[in-house]
Structure 1
Amino acid sequence: MRPVLILTHAPHEGPGLIAPVLDAPVRVRTVVSSQDPVLPGLDEVSGVVVMGGAMDADDDRYPGLVAEKRLLAEAVAADVPVLGVCLGMQLLALALGSELQRRHGTEIGFAPVDVVGDDPVLGQLGERPSVLHWHNDAVTLPSGATLLASTATTPVQAFRAGSALGVQFHPELEPRMLDLWLTTPEMVDELADDEIEAIRADGAKYLPDLAPAARAMVDGFAEQVRARG
Structure 2
Amino acid sequence: MSRSVLFIVNDPVAPPAMLGEVFADLGYDTHQFLVVPAEAVAEPGIDVVFPDPLNYDVVVPLGARWAAYDERLLDTWVAGEMTLVRDAATAGVGVLGVCFGGQLVAQAHGGTVTRSGAPEIGWRPVDSDSPELVPAGPWFQWHFDRFELPPGATRLARNDSATQAFTVGSALGLQFHPELDGPLLDAWIDHDGAEAVALGLDLDELRAETARLQPGARKRLDALVRNFLERVVRQPCPS
Same topology, TM > 0.5: yes
Deviation at 1:152, TM superposition (A): 0.9
Describe the SS at the equivalent of 2:16. coil
Question: Is residue 2:149 matched to residue 1:167?
Answer: no
Structure-2 change in CA distance of 1:226 and 1:26 (3 Å): farther
Deviation at 1:209, TM superposition (A): 1.3
Residue 40 (structure 2) aligns with: none
Q: 2:165 aligns with which of 147, 158, 171?
A: 158
Deviation at 1:89, TM superposition (A): 0.3
Distance in 1 of aligned mates of 2:182 and 2:229:
22
Distance in 2 of aligned mates of 1:133 and 1:109:
5
Distance in 1 of aligned mates of 2:5 and 2:182:
24
Q: Aligned partner of 1:190: which letter?
A: E
Equivalent runs, 1:1-229 vs 2, <5 Å: 1=2, 3-22=4-23, 23-32=27-36, 33=44, 35-62=46-73, 63-117=76-130, 120-122=132-134, 125=135, 128-154=136-162, 156-182=163-189, 184-185=190-191, 187-192=192-197, 195-223=202-230, 224=233, 226=235
Describe the SS at the equivalent of 1:52. coil
Whether the 8 Å contact between 2:54 and 2:88 is mirrored in structure 1 is: no
Deviation at 1:215, TM superposition (A): 1.9
Structure-2 change in CA distance of 1:209 and 1:102 (3 Å): same
- Which ranges in structure 2 are unaligned for 5 or more consecutive residues? 37-43
Deviation at 1:2, TM superposition (A): 5.1
Structure-2 change in CA distance of 1:27 and 1:34 (3 Å): farther
Distance in 2 of aligned mates of 1:174 and 1:191:
16
Moved more, 27-36 or 159-168: 27-36
Distance in 1 of aligned mates of 2:201 and 2:50:
42
Q: Aligned partner of 1:48: which letter?
A: V
Whether the 8 Å contact between 2:123 and 2:141 is mirrored in structure 1 is: yes
Moved more, 30-39 or 211-220: 30-39
Describe the SS at the equivalent of 2:116. coil
Residue identity (%): 35
- Which ranges in structure 1 are unaligned for 5 or more consecutive residues? none
Moved more, 141-150 or 199-208: 199-208
Bigger strand share:
2
Describe the SS at the equivalent of 1:102. strand
Whether the 8 Å contact between 1:17 and 1:215 is mirrored in structure 2 is: no
Distance in 2 of aligned mates of 1:37 and 1:85:
20
Distance in 1 of aligned mates of 2:234 and 2:195:
38
Describe the SS at the equivalent of 2:202. helix
Deviation at 1:227, TM superposition (A): 5.3
Q: Count residues in correspondence.
A: 220
